[in-house]
Every structure is written in structure tokens, then in C-alpha cells.
Amino acid sequence: MSGTPVDALLTRLERVKQAGAGQWRARCPAHDSEGLTLSIGEADTGAALLHCFAGCGAADVLASVGLQLSDLYPPDELIKARRYDTRPRRNLRQVIDGCKPSATLVQVYVTEMMRPKTWQVLAGALNLDKRDLWVLQGAAQDLRRLLDA
């Protein structure tokens, strides 16, 4: 197989559309559908990732285009030739701590929105009802509890 596993897969699919950096959508060859139900991506390791939103298994999708599961992974020489991001992954606690200022801002904003005059202006401008306010308040509290854990 020449090129990357993603390239080998994409060339065999129909109606491929780029959905973002390193992400594509295509028609799934394993079932009868005209929609773009197959999501394709590339992992950091160079492996091809795929998911059919209609429920087709990866082996079925690959068999439909003449490939097998082992074709999703790059050969050793490709792995050695590529440079991967070798930065250490961030600690989860650092990520959570980095979110705390945003959580505080959300809480302050929701508290301000709960004031009757503010709520009347926002509700009218954004077509909101009281339920929307309570959902926002609950989300702010949940976020704070999660980050304080």
C-alpha cells in the first residue's frame, strides 16, 4: 500500500468531502444510503479512523472497498519517516485548573442574568423563557462542582 492509510481509504470511497483538518465525510459503501454517514479521520499515529453513523462495522466498510482492518495502520517505514508530536500530554489537573476562571465567569454571568430587570431584557431579546435560565444556572453549578472536585 502506498501513501497513508487514510489516503488509501479515501481514494476508494464515493462523495468524499473534507469536514475539517484531517477529517472527512463520505458515503458509506457498506449500506444503501446517499447520505454522508461515514466519518474518516487520521490518528496521531497515522492510523485511519472510521465510523459509520448508520451502524456499519469497520470490517464491513473496509470489505466493501477491498481493504481489511490491518490496512488502517501505517507500515513501519511510514511510522519511522513521520515526525509525531512528542510534547508531553497535559496533566488533567492542569486542564481542569485552567478552566476554573471560565467557570467563575459563567457563574457570575448566570447570577447577573437572574436579576429580574436583566432577565426581562435578555429574555425579550433572545426569546428565552424561565426554563432556559434554570438550565443555565444548573449547568454553571455542575461545572463548578466538576472543577472543584
* Domain positions in the chain: 5-81, 92-148
Write down the residue that cell numbers 474518516 correspond to.
40
Q: What is the pLDDT of residue 102?
A: 75
* Whole-structure pTM value: 0.52
- What is the chain's Cα-based Rg? 23
| Confidence band of 140 (pLDDT split at 50, 70, 90) | confident
Q: What is the pLDDT of residue 2?
A: 52
Buried-exposed string 41-77: b where 16+ CB fall within 10 A, e elsewhere: bbeeebebbbebeeebebeebbeeeebeeeebebeee
**Percent of the chain's residues with pLDDT above 70:** 88
Poorest-confidence range of 16-20, 50-54, 58-62, 123-127? 123-127
pLDDT > 50? residue 61: yes
